[in-house]
Amino acid sequence: MIDTKKIIIALDYSNIEEVYKFIDNIDPNLCRLKIGKELFTKYGPSTVKEIHNKGFEVFLDLKFHDIPTTVYKACIAAFSLNIWMLNIHLSGGYDMACAAMNAKNDCQSNSKLIGVTVLTSLSDTNCERIYGCKRFEQISKLKDIGLDSNVDGFVCSPYDIDTLKADRKIYVTPGIRTDNNINDHHKVITPLEAIKLGSNYLVIGRSITESLNPNKTLEEIIKSL
């Protein structure tokens, strides 16, 4: 079955009241919502529950990266919130990724578990300083970890999908813009271009959240796809 809800709106707010004000004007049938570290750290699991109560599915973007036992326990806690999607850093290694998958299986969760490859903020120069190799080389290494541990898919730049291409995997892509504002990303791309490169889900923040009519902007993006 083809998933028609391809847009994930990043809730990059520091105040929960702003979140609720925003989502009261968004149709939950058109998108899903991403809760990141700032909101979750400040307001906790109750944020997920409140957003579920408003009819939205949640991508919990916490990028777990720790020793396997700790990640296993953290994933158990996350899956208990009935989230739609959770992510981990594949740079934590094969054993850690397997621990996360074991948590999903032990919870009998239908949530998607996806692996972060190389952050979209990192250029070749950054990757050489951190990993000692170019961006695509590091992505290739992390792809192997993702495939061997059988995560459901990858978080990556749309430009990295070709390197990561594999059967029955999903690709979640940040750095999507309807304008040319790069912000913290190394490169940005339009929604339609990202879909053409193979993206399954588009993470879009400011282009929608800062719009004067966010639901109309959301509808226009969907129509453009």
Strand partners, 188: none
Whether 104 sits among the annotated catalytic residues: the reply is no
Check 63, 73, 134, 141 and give the catalytic one.
63
Active-site residues: which are they? 63
